[in-house]
Structure 1
């Protein structure tokens, strides 16, 4: 295929490395085709990263996001280099396919389907810290290291143009001495982004738990149905076994009766007394003798 199934934005994963702090990175997948596309995310270091979700379906002309969380690092890498890689596999699936229908065999290269693979590298960046304020003679001023690095651009009218951070420091300096200043640092953009991504992860986790509970309930329901059917099958087998035993007993009884009948039919019947024809002959002879004697 000349055209990629998914457009990946961005093409690299950037993580802000801070000691003992987790870092998040979000990747967007764009499906520009008119097909359902299934994707799967793999990494060379599964222990160091958490991908949520690691599989999914991108519907036609739609987008899908997944978040990668890098586990907290005990020590910051000295050279800020990382050899970890991520692999995104994607393939076309039938219309109506859902996340629950995804199986590992969908992404196996058996030659019968097209599997697209995109590799993403990991880039480590250092955190951006805000300028430090020091209290000098009862007022807050910028740290000298930051104050020395403030660029001053000369305007045409002779007014000096300071950077926004320097203007903030000047405004703080002009505060009244008797007024208390909140020394709690404001949250940076990275912290807000991190909190937002954590909330999204919690929401995704809750959704996954709900789906898991639903699937578990359905499996338990099906298991109960199979148990009922198995019990009915056991009862039917027991009933058939009893009926089979009864039929065998009746068959044996019939065989015995048949054997008795056969033996009875095989015995000759012995007639006791004179035959009927002999009696008739004697009678006729008697009648003839009587007739002769009377005549």
Structure 2
């Protein structure tokens, strides 16, 4: 496929950082193809961020948003530099697919499917920054002199003008690039292990990202299996209890029936001749005796 599957806006995650406060960043994914695209979001620090939703389906020529929330942090990182990264995986899904159709095998690299991966770095912005900012090491730094000049221009002409900066001002504060291998490692789909410490750390972050997500999926599957096993155990226990009660009731009925049979037999043996029959025999005997001996 010549064109990329997803268009990501913005290309990096920006968080307004305040100590002990949460911060959120919105990312929009655009599907520019004529196919259904499935996506999945991973991060190197799953305990630090919350992604909603972390996977989904985007219809052809449609868009989808997901929100990344950074949990409240106790301390600010040194120089407001953050090494956390996010990985967005995307692949072509069957036509008419839904979120329920997304499986782990869809994003497996050994499945033979086209898996597109894009990395997003995290940029922290201080909440106390002024509107006039200068980039320093990828962050925004306050410049009081520029703010005064801008204020003067705004008062005189009524239009905000940004004073031009010289080359020395733009270059000031920027560190020289020592090696371009680290940049190439960030663009590669599979990190290559080299002697450069930055490349080794990037590879370690990717391995940690994959292992954390796989462990989370295994934990969720084990939790579902454990709940189902508990339901089956409870059902079996109930069936055994019902069977035991039925057996007891059946035994009790058999005993009552046996007692009833014995009672009927005992009454038959103890009953003898009926009283009326005895009376009739006595009357007949008296009559016969009277006729023989008047």
Q: TM-score, normalised by structure 1?
A: 0.46
Larger radius of gyration: 1
Answer 1 or 2: which has greater helix percent. Answer: 2
